[in-house]
């Protein structure tokens, strides 16, 4: 770069030239920044939705290109969140499109060192068999004094951070129906 060009690119001169007196606008944007375009500009359409993760219910704008989610942002029209999302809600797009996301059932048998792939039907059968057997083996109808318990201490549920409201509702309903009383979610721990 020539000396004259270097001088003209001096930050104060750039600010004066651009009318950016506080140095917060175009005068401080790099060539790389100027060459970037937001993913939202290239979207084919925008769907309005609600963040699934917690009871706050922040509004989301889902940007879709070629029928694939390319960005999720806060919806300024939402009276709940007014365009804001917490870090978890802001990362929704990364959860949906994460290349390491597991979409197949993996099973590691006792003492095995490798995972094997199971079909969903096979895995569901195995889980159901184990729940039925464990519930029958650990069922407590009454305590030592004959008071009704109707519970099992042999089954517990621990939910993860990316379970949404509807999933947690169904999990709570299922496990309570089975007689389990140890039902927790990452959000409460």
Q: Which residues bind ligand SF4 (CB under 6 A)?
A: 51, 53-54, 56-58, 81, 85-86, 88-89
Give least dist CB 179 to ligand SF4, A: 31
Give least dist CB 71 to ligand SF4, A: 15
Is the four-CA dihedral 91, 97, 101, 104 of positive or negative sign? Answer: positive
* Nearest CB to ligand SF4, comparing residues 182 and 186: 186
CA distances from 26 to 11, 32, 36, 38, 158 (A): 11, 12, 13, 16, 50
* Nearest CB to ligand SF4, comparing residues 7 and 169: 169
* Nearest CB to ligand SF4, comparing residues 152 and 168: 168
Give least dist CB 163 to ligand SF4, A: 12
CB atoms within 10 A of CB 92: 21
- Residues 103 and 90: their CA atoms lie apart, in Å, by 22
């Amino acid at each position: 770069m020539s000396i004259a060009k270097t001088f003209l690119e001096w930050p104060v001169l750039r600010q004066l030239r651009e009318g950016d007196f506080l140095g917060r606008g175009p005068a401080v944007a790099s060539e790389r920044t100027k060459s970037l375009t937001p993913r939202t500009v290239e979207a084919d359409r925008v769907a309005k939705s609600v963040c699934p993760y917690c009871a706050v219910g922040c509004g989301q704008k889902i940007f879709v290109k070629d029928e694939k989610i390319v960005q999720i942002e806060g919806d300024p029209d939402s009276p709940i969140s007014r365009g804001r999302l917490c870090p978890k809600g802001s990362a929704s797009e990364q959860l949906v499109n994460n290349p390491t996301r597991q979409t197949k059932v993996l099973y590691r048998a006792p003492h095995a060192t490798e995972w094997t792939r199971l079909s969903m039907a096979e895995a569901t059968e195995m889980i159901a068999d184990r729940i039925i057997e464990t519930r029958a083996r650990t069922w407590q109808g009454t305590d030592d004094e004959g008071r009704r318990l109707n519970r099992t201490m042999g089954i517990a549920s621990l939910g993860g951070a990316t379970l949404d409201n509807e999933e947690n509702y169904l999990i709570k309903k299922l496990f309570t129906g089975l007689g389990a009383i140890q039902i927790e979610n990452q959000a409460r721990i």
